[in-house]
Amino acid sequence: MSSAGGTYALDFITGTAAAPVYHQGGAIARTGGGWAQPSGNALPQSNPVAGTAACAPACKLEVQDSYVRSAPVFRGGFLYYAQTVGLPAGGLTHTAAQWTKITTPSGAFVDGGRLEDPTATATNGGKWYSTVHIAANAGGDFMLAFSQFSSAQHPSAGYAVHLGADAAGSIRDAQIYKAGDDYYHKTFSTATGRNRWGDFSSAQVDPSDDTNMWALQEYAKARATTDDGNTGSNASKWGTWWARVAPSVTTFTINASAGANGSITPSGAVVVNSGANQNFAITPAANYHIVDVQVDGGSVGAVPAYTFTNVLANHTISATFAIDQYSLTASAGANGSIAPAGNTVVNAGSAQAYTITPAANYHVLDVLVDGVSVGAVTTYNFTNVLASHTIAASFAINTFTITASAGANGSITPSGAVGVNAAASQGFTITPNANYHVLDVLVDGVSVGAVTTYNFTNVLASHTIAASFAINTFTITASAGANGSITPSGAVGVNATAAQGFTITPNANYHVLDVLVDGVSVGAVTTYNFTNVLANHTIAASFSIDTYTIAASAGASGSITPNGSTPVNAGGSQGYTITPNANYHVLDVLVDGVSVGAVTTYNFTNVLASHTIAASFAIDTYSISASANSGGSIAPLGVVNVNAGGSQSFAMTASAGYHLQDVLVDGSSVGAVANYAFTNVLANHTIAARFVIDSHTLTVTVMGGGSVQKSPDQAAYDYGTPVTLTATPAAGYAFTGWSGDTTTSSNPLSIVITGDRSFTATFADTAAPLVRVTAANGGEVLNVGTHTNLTWIATDNAAVTAVDLFLSRAGAAGPFDSIATNQANTGTFDWLVSGPATGTAFLKVVAHDAAGNTGSDLSDAAFQIVSNLGVDDGPVLAFGLSSVIPNPSRGIAHVTFALPRDARVHVGVLDVQGREVLTLADGEYGAGRHQAQLSSGRGLSPGLYFVRMSVPGQTFVKRFAVMN
């Protein structure tokens, strides 16, 4: 969005929730022209009710910029948004509440306007606006809620309304629903800090009717005292106030009515807002239906609902209803009748009775209602008829039933329910199955004996006949000897031709010895089945204890005792001893093929199966573990196995730029040896090679007026470190080139540290000054309480014989205090930087010739003095983080963190997105003050940054800027 160009942009998202696609819109012109970007403390307000303000005139309040800071509103396919703008665009004299209406998804401008006082300035009592929010209802009305200010008015809460029928671009006059009580000022620091306003503000449509709107804004509240200090404890207060706004809208009436036996909802005179929709539901009473619905006198059919859309006139709607009717159809089969017969029409909810009459000597067989039997009834009544129905009757001659049944293992013929006409006869035959006999026959529940035939004569009632049967049985006698059992046992009855199974079970650790059936062995079986039993039998079992075999074996270089196969009774035990030969050890013992380890004894207990045990042996060996850190290698590497009494050599080799620092054998140093040999190995060992990177110095000498910046700037450099040297001439000097390790005029100069390096930067005096002076750190920030070497050089040694040094804290013009006199024409001075804690010290160097005359060309050098970062100011009582000094920084800066006790600390530099771009400290630090250094050479480009310090349970943040 551009304020000067009066443009905005609409971004949107398509796709799905799982795969969204973001689209960035282009700039779209907003009708009405551009505006100025408001910022800072600009909003005017009147003086305090009592007392005086900290500012003259009254302190101004902070104004929001023109970014859209309240949530846009989406209604009816349009987006509404509001913002605070500065006007006019060419130079802000006042602020306005600006609103915009755009369409979606194109983002095209639809409507917009501003609420402003065009004549307002910060001092003439004209109205200013800020903290703008917008709400839009279902009727096309919207409301701007805002704070209003002027030099003659305390901060107040207000709103303005645009009704749906109002002209495009217009908004009605501002309404102040809560005037400010008093003056407001809270910057919490200084009179020039942020005098914040408008954090708790909102506008919202009432969700219960989607018509009324609510405003919630801040106003300046009455103060209890006159204190207007620059802290959070002064007397100023703000409050929030709300207002309910009911927009005026055009309405129409829809008269809704319903005839008897039904309803319409809503009914009567229904008031509808202009352009709104209104739904009606038409509901017939129970057992009635809609006949017709008339809208404005014309039929729309027998519809159950109707909606008036975009109501712009009065209307009528009416409904009529009629009762439901159903048909009852009655029919009768041969030998009977039903009354009434045929089709009968019945109103919903009424009743209809029917009579069913059989012919002489017949009875009702069944009555079906809607095809479902309701039994052989002679009357039936339909009640509360709510559907069409059928009723049908059927008839049959009278009969009697003889129910014949037979129990298991036999039959009766005929069987089941046997129908017999009155006075007729019926005979029955009873037949047992093979190997069964008739047990009894019951006629009407009374025994007539174990007969095989029976005849009913002159049947005049229903009867029953039931036969029962019994099978022939035999006996099997079962027995078992000691240490086992047979199931079942004793005399077991068995039906003829049936089967009988037996289970023979030995006791634990025993087995079946033999089984005799009718005195004849059938083997050591555990089950036996008699089938098709047609005689008596016997079965007898005997038992014997179990035995198992353990097979033992030993490989070369050892033995096992006992060896070979050993029998063991079930439940018994057997021990074994495994013995390796001299200089050997047990390698493994396998029991049933599974390792039990390198044991020398093993005992089988409670033996319940055959087993194997096998021992193997191996000669004694030892291991040497070899390792090396990065920067070199050891050969061989890793774990090396060596037989007892053997030897093993190792060679250590350093990589380029590294050297061997030490060799540790079994944790003890043997020195930086390139080769080491273990002899007569009789134990495990370790050997570890430790390599370190080569460290080198970089010496830079400055000749003449200027300075050299090393990036990075370190006391020592690891092998392979790239370094950039930048020569900066002082005023009146010019850089002429490098000498030393390299002779070149390149500036900056890029080098790689591969050994100790030395360079000299030479600067030529273009203005021919007598003396030039520099500090040891190139003129950067000096710390109070620390020492720095001041270095001066006479550009004309023949003319300058001595120099005097003077210091001023009042400015470059002095006055100056003498700090050293009659110094050599070229030399250094150890200067202890003294207080005050902050500010700028100016150094003057005055040159003398052989006759004692002072030179006319005096050399001044300014040095910034900052707080004491390196001196103990007493015990640290709490965790803390200092400000970054200097801030803003153009080169090297420092920050100090304080610890009251040992703690784990992480200090990092974050960009404005909250990403950590530089780590200054990370690890355990002792109690006290610790300093960390930042510089643009460590990857910090110009911009705003934050230093964040984290200790257990606490976080501290300081803001700073990096400049070119």
Q: Tell me: the pLDDT tens digits for 454-505?
A: 999 988 889 999 999 998 889 999 999 999 999 999 999 999 899 999 999 9
**CA–CA gap between residue 652 and residue 636 (Å, rounded):** 9
If pLDDT is split at 50, 70 and 90, which confidence band does 819 have? confident
Query: Could you give the residue ranges of the DSSP H alpha helices within 38-186?
Result: none
Q: What count of other Cβ atoms lies within 10 Å of the Cβ of residue 581?
A: 12
Q: Look at residue 869 in the predicted model and tell me its pLDDT.
A: 38
**CA–CA gap between residue 222 and residue 237 (Å, rounded):** 7
**CA–CA gap between residue 160 and residue 146 (Å, rounded):** 9
b/e sequence 513-523, b meaning 16+ C-beta within 10 Å = ebbebeeeeee
Higher pLDDT, 503 or 193: 503
CA 740 to chain centre: 60
pLDDT of 415 higher than 60? yes
Q: Look at residue 938 in the predicted model and tell me its pLDDT.
A: 63
Q: Look at residue 472 in the predicted model and tell me its pLDDT.
A: 87
Q: Look at residue 873 in the predicted model and tell me its pLDDT.
A: 47
What own/partner pairs with CB < 8 Å and gap ≥ 24 does 751-754 have? 751/722, 751/723, 751/724, 751/725, 752/720, 752/721, 752/722, 752/723, 753/696, 753/698, 753/717, 753/718, 753/719, 753/720, 753/721, 753/722, 753/723, 754/657, 754/696, 754/719, 754/720
- Whole-angstrom CA distances from 9 to 25, 31, 110, 585, 865 are 5, 14, 14, 85, 49
Of the CA atoms within 13 Å of residue 239, those in its CB half-sphere come to: 14
Region 177-200 average pLDDT = 88
Q: Look at residue 516 in the predicted model and tell me its pLDDT.
A: 96
Which of the residue ranges 53-57, 182-186, 933-937 would you say has the lowest mean pLDDT? 933-937
* Chain segment 831-867, per-residue pLDDT in tens: 655 555 556 666 777 777 666 666 534 444 545 555 4
**CA–CA gap between residue 510 and residue 515 (Å, rounded):** 15
* End-to-end Cα, the chain, rounded Å: 29
* Chain segment 742-798, per-residue pLDDT in tens: 888 899 999 999 888 888 887 765 544 455 556 654 444 565 555 566 666 665 555
Q: Look at residue 778 in the predicted model and tell me its pLDDT.
A: 41
DSSP three-state, residue 710? strand
831 contact partners, CB below 8 Å, separation of at least 6: 787, 788, 789, 790, 819
**CA–CA gap between residue 253 and residue 276 (Å, rounded):** 12
Which among 140, 136, 115, 141 has a CA at the least distance from the CA of 126?
Answer: 115
Which among 699, 768, 711 has a CA at the least distance from the CA of 734?
Answer: 768
Torsional class of 799: left (φ above 0), alpha (ψ -120 to 50), beta (otherwise): alpha
Q: Look at residue 230 in the predicted model and tell me its pLDDT.
A: 85
Would you say 521 and 512 are in contact if contact means Cβ atoms under 8 Å apart?
A: no
Q: Cβ-count burial of 84 within 10 angstroms (0-12 exposed, 13-18 middle, 19+ buried)?
A: buried
DSSP codes, 636-701? S-EEEEEETT--EEEEEEEPTTEEEEEEEETTEE--S-SEEEE-S--S-EEEEEEEEE-EE-EEEE
Would you say 45 and 151 are in contact if contact means Cβ atoms under 8 Å apart?
A: yes
Task: Find the radius of gyration of the CA atoms of the chain.
Answer: 57
Which among 310, 309, 290 has a CA at the least distance from the CA of 300?
Answer: 290
Q: Look at residue 767 in the predicted model and tell me its pLDDT.
A: 46
pLDDT of 98 higher than 50? yes
DSSP three-state, residue 111? strand
Q: List, edge to edge, every strand of the sheet that includes 574-580.
A: 558-561, 574-580, 601-604
Query: Could you give the residue ranges of the DSSP H alpha helices within 317-462?
Result: none
Backbone angles phi, psi at 938, to 5 degrees: -100, 30
**CA–CA gap between residue 208 and residue 638 (Å, rounded):** 78
pLDDT of 936 higher than 60? no
pTM of the model: 0.34
Region 539-558 average pLDDT = 94
Average pLDDT in the chain: 87
**CA–CA gap between residue 891 and residue 586 (Å, rounded):** 72
**CA–CA gap between residue 137 and residue 274 (Å, rounded):** 13
